[in-house]
Amino acid sequence: EVQLVESGGGLVQPGRSLRLSCTASGFNFGDDAMSWVRQAPGKGLEWVGFIRSKAYGGTTEYAASVKGRFIISRDDSKSIAYLQMNSLKAEDTAVYYCTRDTLDVVVVPDGIGDYTWLDPWGQGTLVTVSS
Amino acid sequence: DIQMTQSPSSLSASVGDRVTITCRTSQSISSYLNWYQQKAGKAPKLLISAASNLQSGVPSRFSGSGSGTDFTFTISNLQREDFATYYCQQSYSTPYTFGQGTRLEIK
């Protein structure tokens, strides 16, 4: 069974740091990009960023709201993705989900191509930034 | 960034109804559009990828269509377990963006 389990959430003061972990099982972790998505209380979903697989350079992309403060990394030997969150703000308070950024070939009405989607998702971990 | 406009933001319907949610993007994204279902207190679940590709195990009453900038998500013959919040998401370019969500409630 493909599974993702986040850990590391909790209460943290503004300006401090926190590191989240996402432990994967049931698939070849090193073959896939991994994304982080967050959801503030009562709000919608916001993509935080992702890290590509080593085959695609292992590079990262971030949302503007976290760029320069958050860092995504991965340890393929342990099947773990990390989200290092620095200089935390009250507006970073959210449930943080990790998700596999699946890439596959799909036939669509317009033809055939490589498409990506987020599946599966972990259960999420709550980060509360407050003094 | 690609802006997503999802409508309606909320919807009341009855068991057995057919409902439609639309998602419009600020630029053409071909078929790089996914739909997710989220139930209260749970993680989102992928239902449809690449605009119209139903995921394995997802009931056939769920469907998606569209290409370019206009997309539609339909649930026919609503069941009680379908009452949830639904999101569209574009994977055409980063930053990935989501629609605002549609909360589907029981009438």
pLDDT at residue number B82: 96
Cis peptide bond prior to A120, omega within 30° of 0:
yes
CB of B27 within 8 Å of any CB in chain A?
no
Quote the CA–CA distance of A74 and B94 in Å, as a whole number: 19
CB of B52 within 8 Å of any CB in chain A?
yes
The H or E element spanning position A102 is: strand A94-108
Q: How many CB pairs under 8 A join A and B?
A: 82
CB of B55 within 8 Å of any CB in chain A?
yes
Cβ of B44 within 8 Å of Cβ of A124? The answer is: no
Residues of B in contact with A45 (CB under 8 A): 36, 38, 44, 87, 89, 98, 101
Residues of A in contact with B44 (CB under 8 A): 37, 45, 97, 118, 121
Strand partners, A101: A33, A118
pLDDT at residue number B1: 96
Quote the CA–CA distance of A26 and A109 in Å, as a whole number: 32
Q: Which residues contact B101 (CB under 8 A, 6 or more apart)?
A: A44, A45, B6, B9, B38, B85, B86, B87
Q: Of the candidates A103, A49, A81, which has an alpha carbon nearest to the alpha carbon of residue B50?
A: A103
Cis peptide bond prior to B95, omega within 30° of 0:
yes
pLDDT at position A112 over 90: no
**Most B CBs within 10 Å, among A45, A47, A48, A100, to test the B interface:** A45
pLDDT at position B94 over 90: yes
Residue A109 confidence class, pLDDT cut points 50, 70, 90 = confident
CB of A123 within 8 Å of any CB in chain B?
yes
Which long-range contacts link A28-34 to residues 24+ away (Cβ below 8 Å)?
Answer: A29/A74, A29/A76, A29/A79, A30/A54, A30/A76, A30/A79, A31/A55, A32/A100, A32/A101, A32/A102, A32/A103, A33/A100, A33/A101, A33/A103, A33/A116, A34/A72, A34/A74, A34/A81, A34/A98, A34/A99, A34/A100, A34/A101
By the 8 A CB rule, do B37 and B44 touch? yes
Rounded to the nearest angstrom, the gap between the alpha carbon of residue B34 and the centroid of all alpha carbons in its chain is 7
Cβ of A97 within 8 Å of Cβ of B32? The answer is: no
Q: Reduced to 3 states, what is the DSSP secondary structure of residue A55?
A: helix
Task: Tell me the mean pLDDT in the region A4-13.
Answer: 98
What is the residue-averaged pLDDT of chain B? 97
pLDDT at position B91 over 80: yes
What is the residue-averaged pLDDT of chain A? 96
Task: Tell me the mean pLDDT in the region A12-34.
Answer: 97
Return the minimum-mean-pLDDT range out of A72-86, A95-109, B48-62, B63-77: A95-109
CB of A118 within 8 Å of any CB in chain B?
yes
